[in-house]
Amino acid sequence: MTNAYAPEQVIKKVASLTAERLSRFEHLQIVTPVNTSEGPRYYTLDVRRITLLCELTDDFEVNEDALVIIMSLLDQLHGAHDRLEQVVEAIGAEPSEIKLRLLRRLHDAGAGI
């Protein structure tokens, strides 16, 4: 099973997607295919993103300017989540006394931990 899809395959997978709509999402730079020797390809995450974009425009009538902002915020949130996971992993590698001290500081700061 492949996780790279040609534009035609994505259009078949996402019910309300058309070639014109996909092209518009690309023009807005909220979806970017990977160029391969076989042509442009979208990965599973791209297909999910395109599905969300179609749902936002169809079900909630979100306009293009708002789509760009929403997707930018989602990308930023995803990036922050990745960085937080790295911090948690780094803290996990520290000795117990450092972990305890950090936990106390977070508690004192009202982090709700």
Q: Name the nearest CA neighbour of 75 among 46, 34, 36, 111.
A: 46
Residues 83-106: tens digit of each pLDDT: 999 999 999 999 999 999 999 999
Average pLDDT (59-70) is 98
Residues 10 and 47 sit within 8 Å (Cβ to Cβ): yes
**Percent helix / strand / coil, the chain, rounded to 5:** 65, 10, 25
Q: What predicted TM-score, i.e. pTM, was given to this entire model?
A: 0.84
| Domain spans of the chain, in order of start | 1-62, 64-112
